[in-house]
Structure 1
Amino acid sequence: MAILQWFDASQAIHFAKEISEEFARQFPPKGLTLEERLTRSKDRKKFEKVLKQIFLYAESNPMNFYVKARFLKALMANLEAQGQDSATVNKLIEALATKL
């Protein structure tokens, strides 16, 4: 049974959906690119808040490499489905992949 739990990524996938919705609320897909938005301190704080939520989740719910990969894939798919540009999504995923 423990082996099957190792592959259970349902909780991480659900969290990826929640985070992508939060990201879309904070940074609607229309308008400025993420780099342009992060020059404003208000938007930088919003971005840091979203990242902090992800890191707190990862800290309280340790993820093996399989679950991390499923989380990042779900996050990427959800962000793209919400209309975020692929450059923004790729930069976010790259940053998270090295930090989780």
Structure 2
Amino acid sequence: AARARSAGPVRAVDGRRRFEAVHRFASFRENKTMGKPLLGQMMDMPLLVSSLIAHAARHAGDTEIVSKRVEGDLHRYTYRDCERRAKQLAQALA
């Protein structure tokens, strides 16, 4: 019985958090100024893939990214190489 009493408020808090998250998302979808980036609740800049790659290159540039190819061999390159290649691709697409 004690467990059931303590679980009640926790569910209410979780339900409220879910409601607030859904409400924020719905408000964003109704926003007519979709051209502006939506900033995160705790961030001063938008979270972009390019920012993640730049961060990885700056802080762990020599760390290897290893992936297995269809042929079975391994492909290895560093985060610094990844950033360089991503910038080349962005220039080619621009």
Tell me whether the two structures share a fold, i.e. TM-score over 0.5.
no
Task: State TM-score, norm by structure 2.
Answer: 0.30
Higher strand share: 2
Higher relative contact order (CA 8 A, sep 6+): 1
Larger Rg: 2
Task: State TM-score, norm by structure 1.
Answer: 0.28
